[in-house]
Every structure is written in structure tokens, then in C-alpha cells.
Structure 1
Amino acid sequence: MLGSFGNEQITGKPTDGDIREGKKTCLLIDALSKLDPNDAQRVKNLIGNPYITKEAVKEVKGLFLKSKSVQSCKKLANKYYEMAETNLNNLKPHVNQSEFEFFKSLLNFVLKREY
């Protein structure tokens, strides 16, 4: 999601990169499955174009929002976080505390990162 809705000054990356490159992100896959056929086709026609205009990027982002894909992808990320946390907690008796804390920190970083 950072590749489309992140803060460019924090990430150091433009927020149109994933759209320009046509990356098969969670946002894209989810949006295409939820949008009506005309909107889905519009997204397909726009993504992957290295010369896409700022207006067209804004349109794609608007369709991502319309489809509620941002919320769906955040929900999916949280689901995977909870699964990973459960598995990590199951490993706690088998690893030393510093290893456990390292992986716990890594898990939190991945979910909450802004860059």
C-alpha cells in the first residue's frame, strides 16, 4: 500500500511507481475483483504505463478507494500479523529471549512501517 498511498517524503519513493510498473499488489488484485467490469477494465487499461499522467494515477487511486481495497488489504495484513504472532508465541519456549524479541520487533516493524 505504501507504493500507492505512502508518504513520498518518508518512503523516498513516488506513490505512482506501483501503478506505473503495473505491479500485482494486494490493492490491484483486490480492486479488480470488486470493481464493476467497466471500472476494472479502466484500471487494467491504465496500469503498467510508464507514461501515465498524474490525473490517470489519481483515477486509479480513486478506484482503489472506491473498491475499499485499502481497508481490505489492511485487514489482510492484520490477519497475517496475528497468524505470525501466534506462531512466534508458540516458538517462545524454544528460543532464547533475545531471539524472540528480535522477531517480535521485526513483526511489528513490517506491519507498522511507513517506509
Structure 2
Amino acid sequence: IGTFGDEKLTGKPTDGDIREGKKTCLLIEAYDKLNEEKKNRLTQLIEKSEMTEMDVQKVKELFIEADVSNSGRNLAQTYYKEAKGSLDKLGSVINQSEMEFFEDLLNFVLTRRF
């Protein structure tokens, strides 16, 4: 959400996760997809204590090259399906307004703009 999102919509800088070296789904999947040379370059960049704007841009370029920009969205869809299945199983023990609340929450999380 943060790396390729809109700062105005998310309320957080788009480079925050990269600068902090967070182990996001983008980073993990990029490591799975990149060749050794590019993995090493990504590691060098992510482990820097002070990243420049150019460093951040290079990390984003490696993410794009690894084709991971939709990883977060794909993961959200997977979790949505699992949560929806679990919610459907609760249909006999929760009332309709509770069901609607959780369905609305699931839909918000899946469709929110970033």
C-alpha cells in the first residue's frame, strides 16, 4: 500500500517502508523472483542506514522488475476469500446486523483506495 500508493490517500510517505527496511510482502516476493546479483543489490540498498532518494527509487525499480507491485493486492484478495469463508460459517451464530458489519469491513479493506 505504502510503496506504490498515493501519499495523500494513505496518509504516510510512499518511501517509509523501504527506508525502514521493513520486511513487506513486496520485499519478500522480490527476493523470490530476482536473480542473485539483483538480490544482493536489493540487500545492499535495504540495509543502508541512510537511504537517498536515488536508493529508494532503485529499490522501487527492482520491485517493478520483479513484478511485485500487485503483491499486496493479491494477498489481500486471498485473505478476503479466507475471511469471507469463515464469516459465512458463522451465519448461524451471529445476527444479520453483525454479519453485515463484518461484510462491510471486509469489503472496505479489500476495496479501499491507496
Q: Same fold (TM over 0.5)?
A: yes
Name segments (4+ residues, structure 1) moved above 6 Å. none
The structure that is helix-richer by fraction is: 1
| 1:30-84 Cα shifts (integer Å, max 9, x gaps) | 1011101111111111114452111111111111111111234422321121111
Q: Distance in 2 between matches of 1:11 and 1:72?
A: 17
Amino acid at match of 1:7: D
Residue 21 of structure 1 corresponds to: 20
Amino acid at match of 1:60: V
Is 1:57 the counterpart of 2:56? The answer is: yes
Residue 81 of structure 1 corresponds to: 80
1:10 Cα deviation (Å)? 1.2
Q: Distance in 2 between matches of 1:101 and 1:112?
A: 16
Aligned positions, number: 114
Distance 1:91 1:49, change over 3 A: same
Alpha carbons 1:19, 1:48 under 8 Å: kept: no
Q: Distance in 2 between matches of 1:49 and 1:106?
A: 38
Structure 1 residue ranges without an equivalent (≥5): none
TM-score (norm 1): 0.89
